[in-house]
Structure 1
Amino acid sequence: MRLGGRLAAAIEVLSDIESRHRPAADALKDWGQSHRFAGSGDRAVIGNIVYDALRRKRSATWIFDSSEPRALAVGALLLQWGMSPEAINEALEGDRFAPAPLSETELSLLSSRSLSDAPDEIRADCPDWCVPLAQEAFGEDWVSELQALSGRPPLDLRANTLLSSRERVLEAISSTGAAPGDYLVDAIRIPPIDGDGRHPNVQTSDEFKSGWFEVQDIGSQMAAALACVSHGMQVLDYCAGAGGKTLALSAAMKNSGQIFAHDAERQRLSPIFERLRRAGCRNVQAVTDDEALRALEGQMDLVLVDAPCTGSGTWRRRPDAKWRLTEKQLDTRVSEQSSILETVKRFLKPGGRIAYITCSFFPQENAHRVASFLEANPDFTSMDPATLWQQTFREGSERARLSSEGMTLSPARTGTDGFFFAALQKRS
């Protein structure tokens, strides 16, 4: 397929997403299954256009004065791919599968409008109701922070030191453009792709199948590192999900002590068993029944809470979620987070810690939740974020946003997805 056919397919997928209010991944999968002639390269490029269109939805809508799928898809080529109107029309010319070339009306709009003149919420590609939340989280930098959340993400890996090392992994995947990541000795980064490029499918490599590395955003790796686990600790990963942070903790503890992996939605734990086997993690056991969970009360040195959240910090990876998110969903998550924090405190021994993590930048899910918990629980204190950062990473603390409640990582500051981390210690 040429670019014109791929653009037409992306418009079709965007129409499906809009009309059926469904996740982009589902719409792309269905399109691929019903268009078997499209190769993997075609599907990758179509996916690029769709996700870029969703990342820059408000910008494209403002430029074309239209939110139609065509405007969003063409906007992706202009705003994210860096193509000129002339280059787009040249690519569409002579392609019988392509949509119509840019019209005189569209060309006139493009020549008369500049994003530099657009309102802040347009340049930030942000839903209106999220603007005050972003302003509270990021202050005067809120536009640049959300612009960073509208870009393409890198592909981050964590070398599994139980079975390999960063040096060996980098050598094995040298053809991918991978390089050492910041902050952590195990972090690896493959830069964001451009245009019609595609990230390598590293999960098909022999090294991945042998457990040498995991795919994990560096922000997630940093959050696990900030938990500051050590040999012999008793740890409860209360919202373990598929187990990404569980595996990171296991490697940091060098298979010593014990990690109990739990999730209220048991099916979410399903992938963890194969991941543990592949990674060589021997100090982790899944806890799924209430009786086994109750037996852990008062025994834990650390409870890791990777709390269910809105996921606003992952918008560059899941841009469709940005436009589906509602204030009611935020309220639901806030309620769940408060309930979980109150629940997990009973598992700690005196002097134990809660590591509270979200992949969100919304203060309601982060600093507000910590402040509310501390107010209701005077036997807990917030550990100093600056000290935690210095102990864990040694340098670069100016790149995180530190407050009395915790710290926020972001694409613009730390080059990661948006994460929040706080450590809450129970008094001895």
Structure 2
Amino acid sequence: MGKKNTNRLYPNLVQAVVSALQTIFTEDYYADKVIQRLLKSNPKWGSRDRAFLAESVYEIVRWYRLLYTVLGQEPKTEEDWWEMFGVYYLLAGGALPDWKEFSRLDAEQIKKRQTELLKDRKIRESIPDWLDERGAAELGEHWPESIAALNRMAQVVLRTNQLKTTSAELAELLSKDGIETRTLENGGLLVTKRRNLFATKAFKQGLFEVQDFSSQQVAPFLQVEPGMQVVDACAGGGGKSLHLATLMENKGRLLAMDTAAWKLNELKKRARRNGIHIVETRPITNSKVIKRLEGKADRLLLDVPCSGLGVIRRNPDAKWKLSNDFIERVRKEQADILDRYPRMLKPGGLLVYATCSILPSENRKQIDRFLETHPEFELEEDRTILPQDEGFDGFYMARLKKREN
């Protein structure tokens, strides 16, 4: 846990952090939604106040186990949560004001206790026992470095909408709004100094989408071309659908599907903003929807539901909501999708299976199982991106070809 935003404390902001944490941990809400709602209900807060609140909440959620172990107990009352914040603030390098809420905290003892606890990886990396055991069992020697990387704050990366502009033009336009970027090897832009990206004219004109560097590797991996019939069968909000449509130069047909129809509504809005007209959305309401598309697709993307362990730096509360049982359920769902959805592909077509997980049981092992039972497919290439490899999200992708005969 490094140095954080330790500016002067204000009681109303700390109270807002405390209230947000109570909602996340006692009412089982997701951190991003709680923060979003809190910021929306306090529009008069300045950018520094908003940044303090978001960073404090995310970091306390990220380091929850370490912090409550240093404190000596899991927080139950509002008073406990104030002390939890105090522990976090001290360990982040701040000096606590002389407030009654922090009167029982001894800075020297807290720092001494932290030093002792850092010897235990489960406490040091602030993860549940079961997750440490599973990570070590599946990733072996890579696990310590992987989980340490997943505890670093996520970077913000933009994908340029090449239908409308270039990365160089976008970078110049954003710089006029005080947003500084660095160009990555794939043409993506790493944001090095940010303001509200979504309030910029560039965003409203559909010149970019926020998409992590690792996630941006998936669409090109499918090797689409203009004029093709492409299916994104687990499209969700449509980030990869938009990327595919861009690579297709807005020519052909891209069918975005999902079992959650409400997610596809967001995709329609994003497609309009991006100036993309080849995307058609279709909810998967029953097995007949898949059956009707048998042999129709030149390319098929299966960005399947997964544990999301590769992206927990963005969703640190997932560490406390996940379980072994959940991972086993999602593995069954992945296997079911792999068994049923590839029928949509034409002979000679390509399929990409992708997850934002780093667990082999959700990744290569699923592909090996599929190939054993589906000899009509062959593996062309697969790629594992661990979070420590390039400093971005953990991802897996495998490209398979359906044999001609």
TM-score category, normalised to shorter length? 0.7 to 0.9
Deviates more, 1:123-132 or 1:70-79: 70-79
Q: Which consecutive unaligned segments of at least 5 residues does structure 2 have?
A: 1-6, 76-80
Q: Residue deviations 1:113-144, cap 9 Å, x none?
A: 41684212222222211123322443213122
Tell me the SS of whatever aligns to 2:388: coil
The aligned counterpart of 2:399 is 423
Match of 2:89 in 1: 77
In the other structure, the counterpart of 2:390 is 414
Matched-pair contact (CA < 8 Å) for 1:125–1:147: no
In the alignment, which residue of structure 1 is the partner of 2:78? none
Distance in 2 (alpha carbons) for counterparts of 1:151 and 1:8? 25
Counterpart in the other structure of 1:107:
108
Aligned partner of 1:201 among 175, 196, 199: 196
Q: 2:360 aligns with which of 348, 354, 363?
A: 363
State the match for 2:184 in structure 1.
181
Match of 2:346, SS state, is strand
CA positional deviation for 1:313: 1.4
Q: Which amino acid aligns with 2:89?
A: L
Distance 1:232 1:28, change over 3 A: closer
Distance apart, 1:214 and its partner CA: 0.8
1:3 aligns with 2:9: yes
CA–CA distance in structure 2, aligned partners of residues 53 and 314 of structure 1: 17
SS at match of 1:413: helix
Counterparts of 2:69 and 2:281, CA distance in 1: 49
Corresponding residue number in structure 2 for 1:62: 69
What do the CA deviations read for 1:261-311 (whole angstroms, capped 9, x no partner)?
111111110011121111121322223376665443112121101111121
Matching of residue 216 in structure 1 with residue 211 in structure 2: yes
Asked if structure 2 preserves the Cα contact closer than 8 Å seen for 1:13 and 1:28, the reply is yes
The TM-score, its normalising length taken from structure 2, stands at 0.88
Under a length normalisation based on structure 1, what TM-score does the superposition of the two structures give? 0.83
- 2:129 match: 128
- Whichever residue aligns with residue 99 of structure 1, its letter is E
Deviation, 1:36, is: 7.0
SS of the residue corresponding to residue 25 of structure 2 reads helix
- TM-superposed deviation, 1:112: 4.8
**CA distance in structure 2 between the partners assigned to 1:312 and 1:72 by the alignment:** 26
1:327 is matched with: 324
Deviation at 1:332, TM superposition (A): 1.8
Given residue 12 of structure 1, which amino acid in structure 2 is its aligned partner?
Answer: S
Q: Any conservation in 2 of the 1:64–1:110 contact (CA below 8 Å)?
A: no
Give, as a single letter, the amino acid of the residue that structure 2 aligns with 1:9: A
Q: What is the identity, as a one-letter code, of the residue corresponding to 1:3?
A: L
**What is the Cα deviation at residue 28 of structure 1?**
3.3
**Pair 1:136–1:249, CA change in 2 (3 A):** farther
Q: Sort the Cα spacing of 1:35 and 1:230 in 2 relative to 1 into closer, same or farther, 3 A.
A: closer
Q: Which residue of 1 aligns with 2:166?
A: 165
Partner of 2:3: none
Is the deviation greater in 61-70 or in 335-344?
Answer: 61-70
Q: Deviations over 1:38-80 (max 9, x none)?
A: 555423311210100111122223333333334543444355x
Residue 101 to residue 168, structure 1, CA distance change in 2 (3 Å):
farther
**How far 1:260 sits from its partner (Å)?**
1.0
Q: Is the 8 A contact 1:144 1:412 kept in 2?
A: yes
Question: For the structure 1 residues 303 and 75, does the alpha-carbon distance in structure 2 shift closer, same or farther, using more than 3 Å as the test?
Answer: farther
Query: Do 2:139 and 2:360's aligned partners in 1 also have CA atoms closer than 8 Å?
Result: no
Structure 1, residues 300-347: CA drift from partner, whole Å, max 9, x if none? 121101111121111111111210112222122111111111111111
CA distance in 2, matches of 1:410, 1:254: 30
C-alpha distance in 2 between matches for 1:260 and 1:178: 33
- Structure 1 Cα separation of the partners of residues 307 and 126 of structure 2: 17
Instruction: State the identity %.
Output: 31
- Which residue number corresponds to residue 271 of structure 2? 276
What are the superposed Cα offsets for residues 9-45 of structure 1, whole Å, 9 maximum, x if unpaired? 3223222322222222343355556767755542331
2:308 and 2:210 mapped to 1: Cα distance? 18
SS at match of 2:390: coil
- In structure 2, do the counterparts of structure 1 residues 381 and 78 end up closer, same or farther at CA, with 3 Å as the change threshold? farther
SS at match of 2:16: helix
Helix, strand or coil for the counterpart of 1:369? helix
Which amino acid in the other structure matches residue 220 of structure 1? S
For residue 375 of structure 2, the aligned residue among 360, 378, 390 is 378
Equivalent position to 1:49, from 53, 56, 61: 56
Which of 347, 350, 353 aligns to 1:350? It is: 347
Counterpart amino acid of 1:140?
E
Distance 1:30 1:234, change over 3 A: closer
CA-CA distance at 1:421 after TM superposition? 0.7
* Aligned partner letter, 1:66: Q
Q: Would the aligned equivalents of 1:59 and 1:115 in 2 still touch at CA under 8 Å?
A: no
Residues 313, 419 of structure 1: 8 Å contact kept:
yes
